[in-house]
Amino acid sequence: MALDRETAMQVAAVLSKGLPYIQRFTGKTVVIKYGGNAMENEELKSSFARDMVLMKLVGINPIVVHGGGPQIGELLERLNITSHFVNGMRVTDSQTMDVVEMVLGGQVNKQIVSLINQQGGTAVGLTGKDGNLIRASKLEVQNHSDELARPEIIDIGHVGEVKAVNVEVIDMLTRSNVIPVIAPIGVGDDGASYNINADLVAGKVAEAVKAEKLILLTNVSGLKSKEGEVLTGLTAQQVNDLIADGTIHGGMLPKIRCALNAVENGVQTSHIIDGRVAHATLLEIFTDEGVGTLISRG
């Protein structure tokens, strides 16, 4: 059935507005951290996969890094394994790490790869252990107490931080017209597996590949002012000022610091966008308004 004239004009206007952005970002790399509602809602999962395929078709190189905390928690509960958290991080003993690898490297990663492939793309799933993609070290958590002369070191098991990213593995895939889908599991010098926060992995991958953009999909509409207005077009200095005056606090702080570190280490812009909006990634890249908060170096 043919489109009516008004609808056809709207479609043409949208495509026309996107052209300058397509021209600008062709050949560039965009790292997307995928998680939250966008990963759990069937309609949003399909729209995300189509976004990745479209980006690749117009010459942009998307790299997906995904989370999977709720899925890990669900399986641990079914296995009657109790989860403990320190500073918001899951204490990961050997038994829990086996579940993390099963869920992230198997179930979640393969679902995302399958979705992208169903939409006509070519995706390949990886963990940080494949090709030594993500070299990791054990994360030390310090407990600061007025009663202690020095901070107490808390052992939270197989929780790691990124030491290095093997860019050659990613370059090989992107040159072959493949979309890499990365589970945030790293490998230590001793061969041990480490569970790493997906935001941190996405940020470090973006820095390593000198990405044009780092996009963090979240369950909020973006960084908000004290009055509740979504802030965007921020410089790194403005973000630091908002942290200093308490506007940015609580659960948003780690995500903002990840975005901030990326732009301070070579990524052109970081975006914190609303993953509850269908086609949020395309709307952020290809429209003037976007759907979240943009942070740049200056």
Instruction: Provide the phi-psi class of 231: left if phi over 0, else alpha when psi is between -120 and 50, else beta.
Output: beta
- Two tokens at 11? 């479609």
- 41 by Cβ neighbours in 10 Å (0-12 / 13-18 / 19+) ranks as middle
> Any residues with CB less than 8 A from the CB of 46 and at least 6 apart, and which?
115, 119
CA 265 – CA 162 distance, rounded (Å): 15
On whether 292 is known to bind a ligand per the annotation, the reply is no
* DSSP letters for 50-115: HHHHHHHHTT-EEEEEE--HHHHHHHHHHTTPPP-EETTEE-B-HHHHHHHIIIIIIIIHHHHHHH
> Any residues with CB less than 8 A from the CB of 243 and at least 6 apart, and which?
253, 256
On whether 90 is known to bind a ligand per the annotation, the reply is yes
Decide if 103 contacts 81 (C-beta within 8 A): no
On whether 69 is known to bind a ligand per the annotation, the reply is yes
Residue type, 216: L
Decide if 243 contacts 256 (C-beta within 8 A): yes
The half-sphere exposure of 145 on its side-chain side, counting CA atoms within 13 A, is 7
On whether 131 is known to bind a ligand per the annotation, the reply is no
Q: Binding site for substrate: what residues are annotated?
A: 68-69, 90, 195
Binding residue ranges: 68-69, 90, 195
